Chain A
Amino acid sequence: MVVRESSRSRRFRLALATACAAGLMAGPASLGVATAARADSSSASGTTLRVAMSDSGVDTLNPFTAYFNGALDIFAGIYPTLTSIDEQGKPGPYLATSWTLSPDHLTWTFKLRSGLKWSDGQPLTAADAAWTLNLIMTNTVAGTANGTLVSNFASVTAPDATTLVIRTKQPQANVTYVSIPFSGIPIVPQHIWQSHVADLKNDKNDSFPVVGYGPWVLTGYQTDQYAKFDANKSFVLGAPKYDHLIEQVYKESDAAVAALKAGQLDYINGVNATQFSALQHSSGITTAQAAGDGWTGVEVNPGARTRSGKPIGTGNPALADPVLRRAIAEAIDKKTLLAKVIDGQGQVATGYLPPAWSQWKWTPSAGEEQPFDPAAANQMLDAAGYKKGADGVRVDPKTGKPLDLRLGIHSDSANDAAISTYLVGWLQAIGVKLTIQPMSMTALNSDLGKGDFDLLMDSWTTGPDPTYLLGIQSCATLPNDDGTGGNTDAFFCDPTYDKLFNQQATVFDPAQRAQVVGQMQDILYKADVDQLFYYATTKVAASSKVTGLITGQETNGFYPAQTSFWSYLKAAPVAQSASASSGGSGGLWAGVAGAVVVVGAGAVVVRRRRGADDRE
């Protein structure tokens, strides 16, 4: 009975998604009443770029409170930022054309462009930027999403229409990363937002077209369906080549892939390994791998403590022993994980900062690499007094208890599930028993915050500025004694690391800063608290009928990080000649057959049971 319901709703959703896509294809008339008026005048003609929205979706269109990638993607297209990020991952011009730093390293002066206009015709000046940043600094609600980025700002002023002056409390090296597309602060029009400040928390920002400035103008949004945009043909960094942009929501990535194959979609950023391998051989589709902007690994509880040093949580005390953590690290074959879990589409991880931002690249010095060597791991544990019990599980010499550890994984992640089965096998080989506990994201994060874990699957991505990702390893992010205020990644705390963390924030020469950051990565690597497996590439699939979606030059098989800001801006239609051919449909038929089978069987059972129920 249960199966019938679920498979039907799944199929229904798939059908719905396809229907929506078809509806979008058919024309703007079917897009909904709310936007019909505008759609008639603007979207009726011209070329349309259709892309899949990030699967995290949109939490809110309010740029002060939104966290989800789908929302950040939209803001990058419709609100300006002080700087942009070039293909090398470094700050480049956007609103600001140049910037200078005072000799005391405390005052930044940005020169802004003149003559820009918001989409409603009002002038866009430094006053808008100053107002936005000041609001985030002073209003807690406005600081919900990006407050931490400006916490070190002392004042922001706009002496004239083209000058913005930012004074920081302490020297801060990453000011040019604070307002960048996607991961930074979007600048909003003061004349629109100043009347919304009173009720900012509940502001949905849904009067279309949304007043902003960027390559696109948001003209419509339907929750869990789509967001649509018109191009800003006078955009200062170059006009978009398409007239319209539609970001379509797909609940199932396979549905998005099917739409791409059928020519109903032009671009998916983030297909999984198996889909990527299949799409590589599909005609009419271009694929690319961008160097990973994040890592996947496991965090090991080194003995959770509060900021004052009070132990908390139920972590196994044996894991406080660095020898055991190192043995676990050397028992895990990262190359196999890379090859089998994500089809080799990535790089084996060593440094804490991912390869997408090559300026922070760090590799362990010769002789300090941690190899895959279960024999050495076993010797290490033998020498440290972890004796094997009768069942092959080692015993902690300090507590006399067997090493039976919990491994928390995200229950909705196929990769976590795959990785966990390998970890169980490998750790068994060194006499450590792992029990897998699949958990929801919320439950997992709650256990993490309370220190109630032994090992947890973990993954992080980062923008070009590493401050946040480095920060979650500092002692200052440990929770208070009452359990609140914590933001730590894995209860790592090391005074030397903290000193370097404060130092890197004030080093202004990029090469010198990278060197300090390298020392920090060295400390993390040797601590084995965050054991990193691989940096998965960001896998992109695009229709061959569109060029420019994949940005940058390929080196060693990897493209630089792909940002939707540049991809959508540079996308251009190829001359209409070839039509996309749809790929093999074997999988589709297999799926349909499977669904029919399950539904049919379910129907039989239900019918029989109903018959039995009615009988007496």
Chain B
Amino acid sequence: MSTTPTVTPAAATDAPAGAAAAAPPRFAGARRFARSFRSRRAGLAGLGILLLFTVLALAAPAFIGPDQLDVTKVNGPLLAGPSASYPLGTDQAGRSVLMLLIWGARESLQIGVIATVLTVVFGSAVGIVAGHFGGFVGRALMHVTDWFIALPSLPLAISLAAVLGQGQASITIAIAATSWTATARLVRAQTLAVEARPFVERARALGAGNRQIMLRQVLPNVMPLILVSSTLTVAGALLSEATLTFLGLGSPTDVTWGEMIHDAFFGGAFTANAWWYLLPPGLAILAVVLGFTLTGRAVEHVLDPRMENKR
């Protein structure tokens, strides 16, 4: 959940291209990054949205007890519109939609972030190894990647979730298994570019082994790209989570935004004109996805010299 705050400083340390030797003080890079980022209003807005939702999600247990989400203990009116005591109305079981929305932020973000971490770690590993070794290993890995790209992702995710049993864990794995390919291809391409540069050749001449080159030379240089791609992957993962739970692959006791839309839609909220039940989770998904996209785009602009217009 707290990806965003950690993303920025981490990105900053590796920001200056080719700074493997780390001659300038590390914080100088961070400061320069922060300065450039600050000049991007859209990025700041995105970051603000993400911070808001992160804080809400982290603080939720402080003001939402299990009794307010347990259908056997709540006593609100059923599917009632917004009122003073229920600002966003109630669901079919009489729970406050606002509480569900806030609690849903926890689980949705959790799934999104964990799936992204899995995606990025696996995708980057495959990409760097394939780019570094080339030859048979690289071709084999890229063929596997192409094969996964050719598979239609929605049916694959649905069958995976069905095989692994329903619930958060299987949805997380299903998302990761279907979205690592983009990262892998991206990272491989960047790896090829980085390995062609003289400093890698120098390191090789000085006797660096494969592992040394991949971890100390290549990884820091593809890191900015990985970070940018991961912020966008989170957005995709959140949408996939919403899709899969909407299609009924979640567990009914979990509270996620996708699950809320699923319950609302299949419970007939549409016909009952219960907009207060359908709309908030949809808008929340929009806001968070937008937040990640804006942030990711701003970071991309700051880090990529070709996209940076005033440097």
Contacts and interface: CB of A to CB of B under 8 A. Distances in A.
B278 interface: yes
Contact of A274 (B239, B244, B252, B271): B271
Give the one of B185, B239, B293 with max A CB within 10 A: B239
A384 interface: no
Assign chain A's interface to a size class.
35 or more
Contacts of B182: 609, 612-613
Given A6-B243, A597-B285, A274 B154 contact: no
Contact of A436 (B236, B253, B267, B296): B253
A2 interface: yes
B111 to A, nearest CB: 13
A341 B79 CA distance: 11
Contact of A594 (B73, B162, B282): B282
B192 to A, nearest CB: 8
A336 interface: yes
A601 to B, nearest CB: 4
B236 A275 contact: no
B72 A425 contact: yes
Interface string B260-286: 010101111111111100110011011
Contacts of B252: 409, 416-418, 420-421, 436, 438
A358 B39 CA distance: 76
A602 interface: yes
B92 A425 contact: no
A422 interface: yes
Instruction: Decide if the interface of chain A is mainly helix, strand, loop or mixed.
Output: helix
A409 B166 CA distance: 11
Contacts of A488: none
Give the one of A277, A417, A420, A605 with max B CB within 10 A: A605
Interface string A557-590: 0000000000000000000000000001011111
Give the one of A3, A275, A584 with max B CB within 10 A: A3
Contacts of A5: 154
A340 B94 contact: yes
Interface in A205-260: 253-254, 257-258
Nearest to A253: B268
B186 A613 contact: yes
A24 B286 CA distance: 38
Interface string B278-308: 1100110110011001001100100000000
B283 A414 contact: no
Contacts of A254: 265, 268, 270-271
Interface stretch (B19-27, B140-148, B202-210, B227-235): B227-235
B245 to A, nearest CB: 11
A343 interface: yes
A333 B273 CA distance: 29
Contacts of B267: 272, 274, 414, 418
Given A414-B267, A597-B282, 17 more contacts: A1-B153, A2-B153, A3-B242, A275-B271, A278-B273, A411-B248, A411-B249, A418-B267, A421-B93, A588-B270, A590-B278, A591-B270, A598-B239, A602-B239, A608-B297, A613-B182, A616-B193
